[in-house]
Structure 1
Amino acid sequence: MKQEELADRLQNSKRISLKKKFQCVFEGITKAGNPTLLNEIYTELYITEGGTGELNEEHEVRQIEAASRKADRAETYIRQEELFQLPAGRQEPIRTVMTKGVAGIGKTVLTQRFTLDWAEGKANQNIHFIFPFTFRELNVLKEEKFSLVELVHHFFPETKEAGICSFEDFQIIFIFDGLDECRPPLDFHKTRILTDPRKSTSVGDLLTNLIRGNLLSSAHLWLTTRPAAANQIPAECVDMVTEVRGFNDPQKEEYFKKKFRDKKQANKIIPHIKRSRSLHVMCHIPVFCWITATVLEDLLKNREGGELPKSLTEMYIHFLVVQAKVKKVKYDGGAETDPHWSPESRKMMESLGKLAFEQLQKGNLIFYESDLTECGIDIRAASVYSGVFTQIFREERGLYQDKVFCFIHLSVQEFLAALHVHLTFINSGVNLMDDKQSQISELKQISPVQFYQNAVNKALQSPNGHLDLFLRFLLGLSMQTNQSLLQGLLTQTGSSSQTNQETVQYIKEKISKNLSAEKSINLFHCLNELNDGSLVEEIQQFLRSGRLSTDKLSPALWSALVFILLSSEEDLEVFDLKKYSASEEALLRLLPVIKASNKALLSGCDLSERSYAALSSILSSQSSSLRDLDLSNNNLQDSGVKLLSILQTFHLFLSSPCNFTLQLGSLHSSPFQGKLPPLYLLLHLCPALHSELTTVFSYFPPCVVLCVCSLSGCLITEEGCASLASALKSNPSHLRELDLSYNHPGEAGIKLLSAALEDPHWRLDTLRYGETCCTLKRQRRKSYSCRLTIDTNTVNRNLKLSEDNRKVTCVLELQSYPDHPDRFDYWYQLLCRDGLTGRCYWEVEWRKKVSVSVSYRGISRRGDSHHCLFGLNCQSWSLTCSDDRGFSVSHNNNEVNISSSPSSFSSSSSHRVAVYVDCPGGVLSFFKVSSNSLIHLHTFNTTFKETLYPGIWLSPGSSVVLIRSE
């Protein structure tokens, strides 16, 4: 049989086997409970482009905290089916992709969905074969020797049966899931080069050569990993690094609405989670959403009217109790009303707690027989544990039925480890966290207060927060209310309300010290586990009263203010220091908030070199969100100049040439002058500078890119326009908007500056004077015309496509589009397929009422919230066109009506609008098309942080036609 025929037969059998393997999932765990179709339960997870393979050793709960603040921010997203497709502007092919994400974020499910889409013929049909591996399976083979062909044959026997012994002629994707669990050594420096896929070697050497490209260089590789293990692969071996983002707020709501079909229950659960900061943050992780849903489903069914868990410890205790109850009823034949904890169950839980603690100390999240033996657990007993406590501890089997064990999530392991330490202390007085003592006989008895204080100290000594979550659980277990929930497992209690009060006071003293923001925030979460919110309530009273006097704030209250601001549900879009105190002390105290903000207003705050050093540190941080900084009316000096080298956008409000010289003039003589990247400047001049225009513009160093210049009300005459034109000729290629409103430029001055609109060497798009706004002529803009193609995977089912998919009509009949996570399921919307780059222009014809929009790819698709509708969120900008009300524009839920009489829509040409976007310049303009001219409607000036996609919203009965460029 020919090779092509063999390949076709193999491909068909491969699709069938992979579809069978991945079409169903067992949420939270493997092979327990009832299987669910992946297509039914799957909630879209977005993959963010960019990032690096740098080592991140912070505890993942800290990474989750940081990520939750960015959940609704604009980021560059890539769809899973596009992982190996060349993005716009990239020439080199993508061979190896690394996807990072914390434990439980959904990396494995993402690879399963990717594989299932291929097997079902939905995506990546140019690929002949996908071979999905997990490092858990590969680990048991670390002592074996294989060739690449033999390894594929062993894991996928159908390839051997088909007689395929060479893969060089096929398009293949190898998926390696769980690099952080890899045990075969990957030595990229000493491993000998291997190029023959038929030659045997160790699994570690085989993987190393495959990743390096020595073996099967034509194949694609996709590796997933937790962030801490990303640096195991050299950067030069990875073509693209991506990161899985967890659930944002709309996705959290979508998940719980899917899990709880009863709207009354869903409407009770979602607000409850939002009220608890710790629960809301942890729901960023899909597996925690599953844990939460498991607990709340049981509580709502069996304890109607009772309080729902408010803390992490309480949630995990309930989760443990639910599993004990399942064991009692399902495996022991008991009734739901029987005591949950039998002697056998207690012994099992004690063994699992010991395993969790000892392996956590070693950093192990998966365990093999040797690991169990070290903890005194027989492998047969472990199999029993995984069989009855199926949703806590699980067993997996590799290719040769070798058993692999793990807890369902790192947080469950940490909870059980804390429970083990707590039980050991209250039963025997032994402090397992005291590693200075080696023998139990030598251990000194300490009081409960000392025990918890020692735990706080040890957690604070960890530079990366590795004990943060463990500490929260340990302190939460000290609460008598939580201990009562574990009645039957705990034979005695180990603390009193007095112990809790002393622990609370000790933590408050620690918060008053000069701790890092991350450590301080975790201590506030610890106070929450101890049911103490006094510091937060005190600062909230100050904020509510409007009498916040920062001069009187203690260090602890400053920390509480930071915690509140970072915990706010409002986007940290703009932070204004003057709202709290225009002082250097306030800036230094609130640095974590500035770091998490998109824009910071620090004008006139008398900043010194110390402030600039702190700001430079923030801006240099990979995790900083700050991109837009207003430092006007501050003395920059050389330290400030160094700070500017990191900025993307700089707002400058000038009142005098002297003030300007102090702020930007020093860039000419600065030692950093030759090293600065382009600095995008939005310049606003006061009227006093009308005679100093030439002086002002002469100060621009080469690194300054003048984007917007506002000279409104500066008393500029015809003579001033001549000076202005002369000055701007030295910087013609970046000025995009010039505002001369409320001046006296005269006809000659207007003519002189209007010529710049048609000059191809100038980027000037908009010139404002009087009540007039001149823009580029239609012909020049049409030179940037782009051809739009509708992404059919996004089209709402009430939108009908026709005329070669150029016409869209909103109809009552549902269209038979296939299920797809990118599809808008409520709003009558769609996106176009290709992202916009550079300058782009397009026109559409509309009828009745529509919105013409641009949006980031990451806009939500599920539900009726404002997160999904164009123009009502920070991810999209929209022009609404209506026969009844004329035009309006909207962004981030802010709408601006544009004066236009409905009667003006009498001719067909008046139902045509145009969109012009300058992506790198941050300009988005909407126009009404009339004859061969454009009537300017509105311009947004902003910074686009990721790729834009054209979008359309339609009202019922409306239609839109995408106009092909002439």
Structure 2
Amino acid sequence: MHQIHKSHLQKTFQHLIEGVPNQGDARLIHEIYTELYITEGGRGEVNDEHEVRQIERASWREAAQDRPIKCSDIFKPLFQRHKPIRVLTKGVAGIGKTVSVQKFILDWAEGNANQDVHFIFPLLFRELNLMREKKLNLVDLIQHFYPGMDSTVFSSSQNRVMFILDGLDECRYPLDFRSNRRCCDVTEPASVDVLLTNLIKGNLLPSALLWITTRPAAANQIPPECVDQVSEIKGFNDPQKEEYFRKRISDENLANKTITHMKSSRSLYIMCHIPVFCWISATVVERTSDESEKVQMPRTLTQMYTHFLIIQTSTKKEKYTERKETDEEMIFKLGKLAFQQLENGNLIFYEEDLRECGIDITEASVYSGVCTQIFREEAGLYQGKVFSFVHLSIQEFLAALHVFLCFSNRERNMPDQQQTSQLSGLFRAATLHDLHKTAVDLALRSENGHLDLFLRFLLGLSLESNQNLLRHLLPQTRSQSQSSEQTVQYVKQKIIDQKTSDRRINLFYCLNELNHHAVVENIDRSSGALSVEMLLPGKWKTTRFRFEISEEQLDEFDLQKYIKTPEEDHTELLRPDDVLQRLVPVVTSAL
């Protein structure tokens, strides 16, 4: 039974599917898997900041603060304990949580790691959600997913069992740890909610190992006393980014060209921390290189996602040649869905949401095929369908595209003017500059940066070069050639006004999407000295960002220029050692 179970898991997890299950390309995981940067330690606190902002902040943090750990070793520091071992692993969307679980299981099933564990039972929350109305015991639950599994697996003290609960953020159960009744017998029937809380608390199978994965915003669903170790998947570090592209792109010259290109754009290179974004980029690079050597590789996020939309739409044409719906109609409906769900803060949505946007439920699989990797559908609660975009950034791009299309073709596409939501002001803009000002102000009022990426995309779509890319998909869209200089000046002023580095940095990226870099040149060529005040906590990061996005190399760095004497400035003084310490991340990132 032990070997049969291992063989079953090996067959199930040996392939890695990038994109949407049953539609993406399946490859052996050993051919493409790239080790992720995982750190040990920390707490299971909630973090509801925009996940791209979390990624960007992590890219500035000193690596010395982290304790890296290999995926296969995630339990090793705790193996000698004689009490429940429960590990909580956090990571933003698309960062590789599920793939890490897959690789961990495959290594065990093939006999390469963690052989002191006798049985591993992976359980996905999205599948557990389907059993909401059922009442069964823990043995029945396991046998439901792994038929033929003998109950002696749990009764023998010789067997070391591990449960992997993947995707806590998708859990539809209340997980009421305080009020749920206690359950200690694996043969005692209970609701799935009760079984889960008792398994996590250690009442059921107290000797079992437990691994829970989740997005940061859902981490606090598990009480701190139920977690023995917290780890975080931070995606790819810089060497791992290169390794991924070399494995993913078979043409060595093209892989080298891709790596060099991604490094040349700070905004793209930071996003490459996210494996899903690396996959999107590799998809775009391979296709654009096939089409023509004259096609320029994307230098901004807007260009990258525009190319990706074009590729996926052409995939839809190849698969569904008899579709009567035009590309413009399909994109507008998907954009409307993306915008409405972004406005409501939803990453997962249901059949009624699709109907409201004019999407025929009976043809939803075609939309999911679209956009082969843009839009996906899965079995959901009560055996219904649950829908989502493959990644939040794709939803944000389509939402920004929807707003831009509404503005460009307002006679045909303007939504109900009676809208009173926070974002409804976008549809009342009279000029393109008014639209941009409204979007900038809304993004700055969003405390946790939830409109940051949406804003970057919306500004980027105002460039004529990006509109030209979309023209063969959206032929009826009017060109918006109005100069972006007013918007550039508005964003520059907002950079000066902001008190936090996160706000300023996103605005710098907005200028990058507008293909405007003069602000960096002006700053670098101004007085030649930074005041001590700019090096104080919360402000020096912006200085560091300016160093990183500048392509100009400094032959000499004069520390004295960064220190003012009491006669020169009455702001808080820092010792030279303190200033140097704060500049260490700047220097190391530039090497």
Among 344, 360, 363, the alignment partner of 2:345 is 363
Residues of 1 paired with 2:548 and 2:169: CA distance? 30
* Distance change (3 Å), C-alpha of 1:586 and 1:189: farther
Q: Which residue of 2 aligns with 1:69?
A: 60
Which aligned pairs between 1:465-484 and structure 2 lie closer than 5 A?
Answer: 465-484=449-468
Aligned residue number for residue 528 of structure 2: 548
Cα deviation for residue 354 of structure 1 reads: 2.1
Give the aligned residue type for 1:69.
W
| Cα deviation, residue 56, structure 1 | 1.4
SS of corresponding position for 1:366: coil
What's the counterpart of residue 418 of structure 1? 400
For residues 25 and 506 of structure 1, what CA distance do their matches in structure 2 show? 45
CA distance in 2, matches of 1:442, 1:69: 33
What pairs with 1:303-318 in structure 2 (closer than 5 Å)? 303-318=292-307
Deviations 1:449-479 (A, max 9, x none): 2111111101000111011111111111121
Instruction: Check 1:459–1:95 CA distance in 2 against 1; reply closer, same or farther (3 A cut).
Output: same
Q: CA–CA distance in 2 between the matches of 1:440 and 1:519? A: 22
Q: Which has the higher helix share?
A: 2
Report the residue type matching 1:57 in the other structure: D
1:49 aligns with 2:40: yes
Question: Against the structure 1 CA distance between its residues 588 and 176, is the aligned structure 2 distance closer, same or farther, given a 3 Å change threshold?
Answer: farther
Which of the numbers 198, 207, 213 marks the counterpart of 1:218?
207
Does the CA-based 8 Å contact 2:563-2:576 persist in structure 1?
no
What is the TM-score of this pair, normalised by structure 2? 0.87
CA distance in 1, matches of 2:31, 2:578: 48
Residues 426 and 493 of structure 1 are in contact (CA less than 8 Å); yes or no, is this contact kept in structure 2? yes
The residue that corresponds to 1:964 in the other structure is none
Question: Match for residue 143 of structure 1?
Answer: 133
The worse-fitting range, judged by mean Cα deviation, of 220-229 and 443-452 is 443-452
Structure-1 separation of matches of 2:529 and 2:371: 54
Name the structure 2 match of 1:231.
220
Once residues 178 and 585 of structure 1 are traced to their aligned partners in structure 2, the CA distance between those partners, rounded to angstroms, is 58
Partner of 1:929: none
Structure 1 contact 107–224 (Cα < 8 Å) conserved: yes
- 5 Å matches for 1:688-707? none
Deviations 1:738-759 (Å, cap 9, x if unpaired)? xxxxxxxxxxxxxxxxxxxxxx
**How far apart, in 1, do the equivalents of 2:31 and 2:518 lie?**
44
Match of 2:189 among 184, 191, 200: 200
- How has the CA–CA distance of structure 1 residues 152 and 369 changed in structure 2, closer, same or farther, with 3 Å as cutoff? farther
Residue in structure 1 matching 2:160, options 148, 171, 177: 171
Candidates 375, 382, 391, aligned match of 1:409: 391
Pairing of 1:797-816 with structure 2 (within 5 A):
none
- Paired letter, 1:304: E
Equivalent-residue separation in structure 2 for 1:59 and 1:513 (angstroms)? 22
> What amino acid sits opposite 1:602 in the alignment?
D
Inter-CA distance 558–222: structure 2 relative to 1 (3 Å threshold): closer
Q: Secondary structure at the match of 2:76?
A: coil
Q: From 556, 578, 581, give the equivalent of 1:602.
A: 578
Structure 1 441/266 Cα, relative in aligned 2: closer, same or farther at 3 Å?
closer
Q: Give the Å deviation of 1:377.
A: 3.7
Contact 1:101 1:245 in 2 (8 A): yes
Q: In the TM superposition, what is the alpha-carbon distance from 1:567 to its structure 2 partner?
A: 4.7
- C-alpha contact 2:432 2:482 (8 A) present in aligned 1: no
Q: 1:59 to 1:431 in 2, by over 3 A?
A: farther
**Deviations 1:608-645 (CA, angstroms, capped at 9, x unpaired):** xxxxxxxxxxxxxxxxx97999xxxxxxxxxxxxxxxx
Instruction: Report the 3-state secondary structure (helix = DSSP H, G, I; strand = E; otherwise coil) of the residue aligned with 1:217.
Output: coil
Give 1 or 2 for the bigger CA radius of gyration. Answer: 1
Other structure's SS at 1:350 match: helix
- Partner Cα distance (1:280, 1:145) in 2: 48
Instruction: Compute the displacement of 1:268 (Å).
Output: 1.7
- Assess, with a 3 A threshold, how the Cα gap between structure 1 residues 437 and 331 changes in structure 2: closer, same or farther: closer
Q: Which deviations, in whole Å up to 9, do the C-alpha atoms of 1:289-329 show, x marking residues without a partner?
A: 11000001111111213321110000000000011112223
CA pair 424-476 structure 1, distance change in 2 beyond 3 A = same
- SS of equivalent residue, structure 1 residue 385: helix
Pairing of 1:40-189 with structure 2 (within 5 A): 40-70=31-61, 73=64, 75-86=66-77, 93=83, 95-159=85-149, 162=150, 164=152, 166-167=154-155, 169=157, 170-189=159-178
Q: Which residue of 1 aligns with 2:436?
A: 452
Cα contact 1:576–1:601 (8 A) shared by 2 = no
* Aligned CA distance change for structure 1 residues 551 and 402 (closer, same or farther; 3 Å): closer
Partner residue, 1:383: 365
When residues 223 and 442 of structure 1 are mapped into structure 2, their CA distance, relative to the original with a 3 A threshold, is closer
Instruction: Choose between structure 1 and 2 for higher RCO, CA contacts under 8 A separated by at least 6 residues.
Output: 2
- Cα distance in 1 for partners of 2:550, 2:156 equals 54
Pairs within 5 Å for 1:471-510: 471-490=455-474, 491-493=476-478, 495-498=480-483, 500-510=484-494
1:462–1:196 Cα change, 3 Å: same
1:436 maps to amino acid: T
CA contact (8 A) 1:85 1:94 kept: no
**Residue deviations 1:485-535 (CA, integer Å, cap 9, x gap):** 11144322363332x221111111111103310010000000111111111
SS in 1 for 2:18: coil
Distance 2:404 2:66 in 1: 42
User: What is the letter of the counterpart of residue 548 of structure 1?
Assistant: G
1:289 match: 278
DSSP-derived class of the 2:397 partner = helix
CA–CA distance in structure 1, aligned partners of residues 462 and 354 of structure 2: 29
Q: Distance in 2 between matches of 1:211 and 1:552?
A: 50
- State the distance in 1 between where 2:582 and 2:18 align: 37
Between the aligned partners of 1:553 and 1:149, the Cα distance in structure 2 is: 62
Equivalent position SS for 1:404: strand
TM-fit CA distance, 1:586: 11
Aligned to 1:938: none
Task: Report the CA distance between 1:186 and its aligned residue.
Answer: 1.4
5+ residue gaps, structure 2: none
Q: Aligned-residue CA RMSD in angstroms?
A: 3.8
SS in 1 for 2:523: helix
| Residue ranges of structure 1 left out of the alignment (5+ in a row) | 1-8, 334-340, 606-624, 630-873, 875-892, 894-966
Counterpart amino acid of residue 50 in structure 2: H
Q: Normalization by structure 1: what TM-score?
A: 0.55
Q: Which residue of 2 aligns with 1:354?
A: 336
What amino acid is the match of 1:149? V
Distance 1:627 1:523, change over 3 A: closer
Equivalent pair of 1:175/1:223 in contact (CA under 8 Å):
yes
C-alpha distance in 2, partners of 1:298/1:372?
30
**Residue 440 of structure 1: how far off its partner (Å):** 9.3
Change in 2 beyond 3 A, CA 1:310/1:402: same
